A and B are shown apart, each in its own frame.
Chain A
Amino acid sequence: DTGVSQNPRHKITKRGQNVTFRCDPISEHNRLYWYRQTLGQGPEFLTYFQNEAQLEKSRLLSDRFSAERPKGSFSTLEIQRTEQGDSAMYLCASSSGQGAYYGYTFGSGTRLTVV
């Protein structure tokens, strides 16, 4: 088990382009979370999956953002029509049960720069 894997590690895109990030959780973890971290801030919750079902979405997740977790394995986070304000580190985490009790394992993140 290699932990939570996120790809790509870095992404530079022009404003208005679409981008997609991938997260591969720990294989036996049924819960998957996306967070966004801007410079000088702590991570902020975006959305959460239990298996393939998206159960929670933060108000931070605008209509331009969409996340999927087909078959309850890996997850993708897509941002459409990127804006400079989307520049951030996007972190993925997984857990085997209720995260607060079982613990969360975070990936190394995808750093997005919108120019």
Chain B
Amino acid sequence: AQKVTQAQTEISVVEKEDVTLDCVYETRDTTYYLFWYKQPPSGELVFLIRRNSFDEQNEISGRYSWNFQKSTSSFNFTITASQVVDSAVYFCALSDNQAGTALIFGKGTTLSVSS
């Protein structure tokens, strides 16, 4: 069965610290997509990144970077030099053929960045 595990429930850091959010997934499919979403207090889910299973290149976008490792079924997200505006709940999600059109979300990690 498909599953996404975000073991860190809450993380608190001070501004300018680097922080890594962990995501481990389970799927039997060879073709799948992984996502990260940010959910600020306003509630909407903001898309951050999508990665397909055939592209293991790490990606950097400004202060954000993602480390995809198929060998360990992990898709971790690092925020460099965190800012107060990064405070939100972050979700990792999986989409594969078994899930059909559905996204399978983890339980989320709440990140609190203090000044």
Question: Residues on A close to B: CB < 8 A?
Answer: 31, 33, 35, 40-45, 48, 55-56, 58, 89, 91, 93, 98-101, 103-109, 111
A104 and B44 within 8 A (CB): no
A106 and B95 within 8 A (CB): no
B83-115 vs A: 1/0 string, CB under 8 Å? Answer: 000000001010100011111111110000000
A48 and B43 within 8 A (CB): no
In whole angstroms, what is the CA distance A41 to B91 when docked?
10
Specify which of B42, B43, B95 is in contact with A99 (CB 8 Å cutoff): B95
B33-60 vs A: 1/0 string, CB under 8 Å? Answer: 1000100001111110010000000000
A-B pairs with lowest CB-CB distance, top 7: A42-B105, A45-B102, A100-B95, A106-B45, A100-B33, A108-B44, A109-B43
Residues of A within 8 A of B4 (CB): 42
How many residues in B have their beta carbons less than 8 Å from beta carbons of A? 23
Task: For the A-B complex with A43-B103, A56-B101 known, give 15 more contacts whose Cβ atoms are closer than 8 Å.
Answer: A41-B107, A45-B99, A48-B100, A55-B101, A58-B102, A91-B45, A93-B45, A99-B101, A99-B103, A103-B47, A106-B44, A106-B45, A106-B46, A106-B47, A109-B43
In whole angstroms, what is the CA distance A98 to B52 when docked?
13
CB distance from B46 to the nearest CB of A (A): 8
Given contacts A48-B101, A99-B95, contact A107 B44 (CB under 8 A): yes
Specify which of B46, B50, B101, B105 is in contact with A44 (CB 8 Å cutoff): B105
Residues of A within 8 A of B102 (CB): 33, 45, 48, 56, 58
Given contacts A42-B93, A99-B95, contact A104 B105 (CB under 8 A): no
B33 and A101 within 8 A (CB): yes
Q: Which residue of A lies closest to B42 (CB)?
A: A108
Q: Which residue of B lies closest to A95 (CB)?
A: B101
Most-contacted residue by chain A among B45, B50, B93 (CB, 10 A): B45
In whole angstroms, what is the CA distance A109 to B44 when docked?
7
Residues of B within 8 A of A41 (CB): 107-108
CB distance from A3 to the nearest CB of B (A): 8
In whole angstroms, what is the CA distance A107 to B43 when docked?
8
